[in-house]
Amino acid sequence: MPSLRRVPLRRVHGPHGMLNPLRAWEELAAAVPSGLGAPPRRDGPFFVPLSKFLNVSLSLHNPTLMPTSKPLIPSLPSIPGFHHIYNPKASSSFRPNGTKIAIQYGTGRLSGILSQDKLTIGGINNVSVTFGEALWEPSLVFTVASFDGIFGLGFPSLAEDGVPPPFDVLVEQGLLDKPIFSFYLNRDIQGAHGGELVLGGSDPEHYIPPLTFVPVTIPAYWQIHMERVMVGTGLTLCAQGCAAVVDTGTSLITGPSEEIRALNRAIGGLPWLAGTHFIRCSKIPTLPPVSFLLGGVWFNLTAQDYVVQISQGGFRLCLSGFQALDMPPPAGPLWILGDVFLGAYVAVFDRGSASMGPRVGLARARVPGADLGGDGIAQAQFTD
């Protein structure tokens, strides 16, 4: 395997369930596939470690990134005093574009303009990218969030005004070995590192082989077909098969409200705030597994996997990792396999080639055995 480039990180803590960065879902129905060129030739995978807050949300930390690092970053005068702010006057490589943008997320919205500058990530330097300067962020969620910007990893069909996503730019310029990226999320809140984003491939040290690959059905978000969901041996959900999106930008596992209500009842969930369900922490050892059938293989989550445990000041709170989210047709109904699922399973996102369509590979994550911690400056939440 070629040498791996890693970027140190530090852990950031913040409120649970801060942001679901998935775009408004009506856009998914209009998404169209975009072709990919031949796989480029260059060095092997580049590693970009991640940080997260309360073990379910992620941030990018890179001491070499500074203000020119993100495809979507806060700009003067959006939210000074709370975040690292992009100042175009301070960058000699800034190039104006000026096209206005407006983006609606699951729990927030923003508006701004497109601009061009140089990107540095994972040891790759001075790559010219077009990104969004967030000039107006009316939602409090962006103000108090631990991350500064968003690094989108979806398909080009989701991009604003046809702007090439940064991952596509890296691939087209031959800066990655393969059109693949992968996520390893370390959910051990006591651990020194939050995991890694691997650009250009995947690291077998992160997972237990083999990888199970599932074809992408709609190349916008990373949407796949899920055959069935089982809760223990007594409850079957998604009985006729259903759509599922694999998304690092969603903290929990979401699904149609009727099915999620049944699931939470089966695991002893008690309704709590904002659609969440409280779990008695003492019951965790007795709760049933929840299993997902993907690509003909069962992916099992134990209660240790799907119960979000929050400890602060001697107080312990346990919450269900499943939340109802109804997506109207034609985009829905569907499930979202967020960080609760991806903490247990490494996801390999393969954009495919001329002879093979895009696909998602899944394998059980290894228990971390090395300290990859560090420090950093700029932050960005990833959403694929």
The token pair that represents 97 in the structure block:
């574009």
What is d(CA 40, CA 172) in angstroms, rounded to the nearest whole number?
A: 7
* Statement to judge: residues 151 and 246 lie in one domain: no
Q: What is the DSSP string of 70-96?
A: -SEEEBTTSSTTTS--B-GGG-TT-EE
* Statement to judge: residues 180 and 269 lie in one domain: no
Specify the pLDDT at position 311. Answer: 83
Evaluate if residue 256 carries a pLDDT over 80: yes
Q: Is residue 23 part of a domain?
A: no
Specify the pLDDT at position 77. Answer: 52
Q: Is residue 19 part of a domain?
A: no
Q: Is residue 374 part of a domain?
A: no
3-state secondary structure 274-311: HHCEECCHHHHHHCCCEEEEECCEEEEECHHHHEEEEE
Q: Are 202 and 178 in contact (CB under 8 A)?
A: no
User: CA-CA-CA-CA torsion for 270, 344, 223, 164, nearest 10 degrees?
Assistant: 120
Which residue range is the domain that position 255 belongs to? Answer: 207-364
* The domain boundary residue, chosen from 202, 227, 245: 202
* Statement to judge: residues 247 and 142 lie in one domain: no
* Statement to judge: residues 189 and 301 lie in one domain: no
Specify the pLDDT at position 24. Answer: 37
* Statement to judge: residues 66 and 158 lie in one domain: yes
Q: Is residue 20 part of a domain?
A: no
* Statement to judge: residues 54 and 154 lie in one domain: yes
What is the value of pTM for the model shown? 0.81
If pLDDT is split at 50, 70 and 90, which confidence band does 61 have? Answer: very low
Element holding 266 (H helix, E strand): helix 257-266
* Statement to judge: residues 175 and 192 lie in one domain: yes
Q: Is residue 337 part of a domain?
A: yes
pLDDT in tens, 328-375: 888 889 999 998 999 999 999 999 998 999 999 999 999 865 443 333
Q: Is residue 35 part of a domain?
A: no
As for how many domains the chain has, the answer is 2
* Statement to judge: residues 211 and 354 lie in one domain: yes
Q: Is residue 132 part of a domain?
A: yes
Q: Are 65 and 22 in contact (CB under 8 A)?
A: no
* Statement to judge: residues 108 and 126 lie in one domain: yes
Evaluate if residue 43 carries a pLDDT over 80: no
* Statement to judge: residues 181 and 303 lie in one domain: no
Mean pLDDT of the chain: 77
* Statement to judge: residues 223 and 352 lie in one domain: yes
* Statement to judge: residues 220 and 250 lie in one domain: yes
Averaged over 166-187, what is the pLDDT?
89
Q: Is residue 42 part of a domain?
A: no
* Cβ-based neighbours of 240, under 8 Å, separated by 6 or more: none
231, burial (CB in 10 Å: exposed 0-12, middle 13-18, buried 19+):
buried
How far are the Cα atoms of 44, 185, 263, 323 from residue 317, in angstroms, in the given order?
42, 21, 20, 16
Averaged over 145-172, what is the pLDDT?
85
CATH number of the domain bearing residue 309: 2.40.70.10
pLDDT in tens, 75-134: 655 454 567 788 888 889 999 999 998 877 666 778 899 999 998 888 888 889 998 888
First-to-last C-alpha distance (Å) of the chain: 25
Element holding 119 (H helix, E strand): strand 109-121
